[in-house]
Structure 1
Amino acid sequence: MTMSKGERMKSAREKIKEQQAVERVRERRRRTMTYVTVGVVAVAAVGAGWLYAASRSQSEEAASGTQAPVTVQPDGSVVMAMAGVDKPVLDVYEDFQCPACKQLETVSGQTFKNLAAEGKAKVVYHPISIFQQEPTKGNSQRAAAAARCVADGRQWLAFHDLLYKNQPSETVKGFTTSDLVSWGKEAGVTASGFEQCVTSQQHAQAQSAYSAKIIKEQKIQGTPTVKLNGTDLPNNVAFAPQQLRDQVTKAAK
């Protein structure tokens, strides 16, 4: 059956509307953020709940000329604190492949640094590998194992920040050892054994063991998890710099 010119135009308009509807769905998907729970990938709309609050939060500026000493611990955790400061304690459980962890670093990372520099908190980073499926599992493990190859605290923090800056998509293999070595050099790492440590993934087994231990002991349900003196902080506090600062200040009294 032959369509008239009017019918063909109507059909074309309908197809355009259908395509526009498909594009709107794709755009909504693009604007989602994936966060990880143990063994499960969950999706949350950027405009909802705590992510909405995070998008409206004002990140702090870096405190001029001051950074708290950073010390890499034997177990792979990293302490950032001024001398003699042992409380309140902010524990940050993070996965370098986790997009929500990158968002936390973007929004509240400077607040962690400032609180430590001001002597108002002892910040402890716990890089863990929480993903269970490839390619995210391998990405996460390579990055965290490489971070263990950095013994200098200041260099470790710079490397930490570069990992988030260069975080790959969850759908592709990323954090290649060659890139990790390059970012280490960018972070100022000059130790002679760094490249070999990264390319051989020398600390991969230790990282896996540490992750399993921390996830079990601390009952970590997802990343990022921020604890203040051992108690989980709600996301709407962890992702809101002023509220985060207020909670830490209150805990110090």
Structure 2
Amino acid sequence: MANHPSSKDRRNAAREQARQIAAAQAKKEKTVKTILYAGIAVVVVAVMAVVGTLVWQSSRPVAPPQAMVSGTLAFAAADDGIQAVQPAGEEEGADVSDLPTVADSGAAEGASVVKVYLDFQCPGCKAFEEANGETLTSLAEDGSIVLEYEPVAILDRMSAGNQYSTRSANMAACIADSGQSALLPDVMLELFAQQPGEGQSGMEDDQLLSIAESAGVDVDADVAHEDAATVRDCVTEVAFDRYVENSTQDALNSEGVQGTPHITVDGEPYEGDWSNREAFAGDLIRASGQN
């Protein structure tokens, strides 16, 4: 007669089967959790690596263009016309060794330093240059003043998304970095002459380069920037975008600039009426003690 498992044996077998199923399920869940946690850990490490890289890149000093110090270009009298000279101030990594000092230029002793902060998308800056560009150049040519320009990028939002303020200021930096900064006054005047309207798309790269070439810039000349070979490359790759951003923030946060055009005379904000060409010129001459 065959032996049949008792009710107790069946219950024990059922319990053992349930225990085995539960153990297998727990093992499976543990494996899933291990994989999940490992995946999360990999993602966290990857995110931390990306964040660390971005932080390192943002904190890394940005090499300035040749001939510029803290975003500034300086011009003074030469034997014939004006020449680029060493801007005042200091900036880590700045190389202005190829430029004469103001003392070695034809600037008169005690000549005031007139500095203009400008944005190439700014209608007020265009009006300022139309009213006073020739006067400033003339005063620099005869040694009455030392003329400084600092292009900043405040109005990128006004160029239909193509970051024209940054890109045009970047081109100025590219030209300076190629050793052709003496041509920048002419380039800047033409940039204002062809200024896009606010809210319209800013000029494209080929238009910017055409303006530079019309002012005599060799756009195929080498630049010192490690990530660009020529002025053309520097412009199309916007190689100095971080430099423009940093110098703009310095102007806004540390140098008292609240808008453009912003004019200083020997470091002090100009409080007169720059729209009156004769009065403006007279104020500058008197500031230099030449009245």
Q: Does 1:230 align with 2:267?
A: yes
Q: State how far apart, in whole Å, the 1-side matches of 2:83 and 2:282 are.
A: 23
Q: State how far apart, in whole Å, the 1-side matches of 2:101 and 2:139 are.
A: 10
Shift of 1:132: 5.6
Give the alignment of 1:164-179 within 5 angstroms. Answer: 164-179=192-207
Cα separation, partners in 2 of 1:106 and 1:153, compared to 1, 3 Å? same
Corresponding letter in the other structure for 1:209: N
Give the alignment of 1:173-212 within 5 angstroms. Answer: 173-190=201-218, 191-192=221-222, 193-212=230-249
Corresponding letter in the other structure for 2:210: S
CA RMSD of aligned residues (A): 2.7
Counterpart of 2:115 (choices 64, 82, 91) is 91
> Unmatched 5+ residue regions in structure 1?
1-64
Query: Is 2:107–2:142's contact at 8 Å kept on the other side of the alignment?
Result: no
Q: Which has the larger radius of gyration?
A: 2
Q: Does 1:146 align with 2:146?
A: no
> Unmatched 5+ residue regions in structure 2?
1-78, 88-93, 223-229
Q: Does 1:216 align with 2:263?
A: no
Q: State how far apart, in whole Å, the 1-side matches of 2:158 and 2:173 are.
A: 21
TM-score normalised to structure 2 length: 0.58
Shift of 1:213: 0.6
Corresponding letter in the other structure for 1:177: D
Cα separation, partners in 2 of 1:118 and 1:136, compared to 1, 3 Å? farther
Counterpart of 1:68 (choices 72, 77, 82) is 82
Cα separation, partners in 2 of 1:194 and 1:164, compared to 1, 3 Å? same
Corresponding letter in the other structure for 2:188: H
Q: State how far apart, in whole Å, the 2-side matches of 1:220 and 1:168 are.
A: 23
Give the alignment of 1:1-253 within 5 angstroms. Answer: 66-71=80-85, 74=94, 82-85=105-108, 87-131=111-155, 133-135=157-159, 138-151=163-176, 152-190=180-218, 191-192=221-222, 193-234=230-271, 236=273, 238-253=274-289
Q: State how far apart, in whole Å, the 2-side matches of 1:204 and 1:83 are.
A: 33
Shift of 1:210: 0.6
The one of the two structures with greater contact order (alpha-carbon pairs below 8 A, sep at least 6) is: 1
Aligned residues: 187
Shift of 1:79: 10
Shift of 1:134: 4.5
Q: State how far apart, in whole Å, the 1-side matches of 2:131 and 2:198 are.
A: 21
Q: State how far apart, in whole Å, the 2-side matches of 1:171 and 1:163 are.
A: 17
Shift of 1:72: 7.3
Q: State how far apart, in whole Å, the 2-side matches of 1:125 and 1:243 are.
A: 21
3-state SS of 2:175 partner: coil
Cα separation, partners in 2 of 1:231 and 1:245, compared to 1, 3 Å? same
Cα separation, partners in 2 of 1:114 and 1:136, compared to 1, 3 Å? farther
Query: Is 1:97–1:136's contact at 8 Å kept on the other side of the alignment?
Result: no
Per the alignment, residue 51 of structure 1 pairs with none
Q: State how far apart, in whole Å, the 2-side matches of 1:128 and 1:176 are.
A: 18
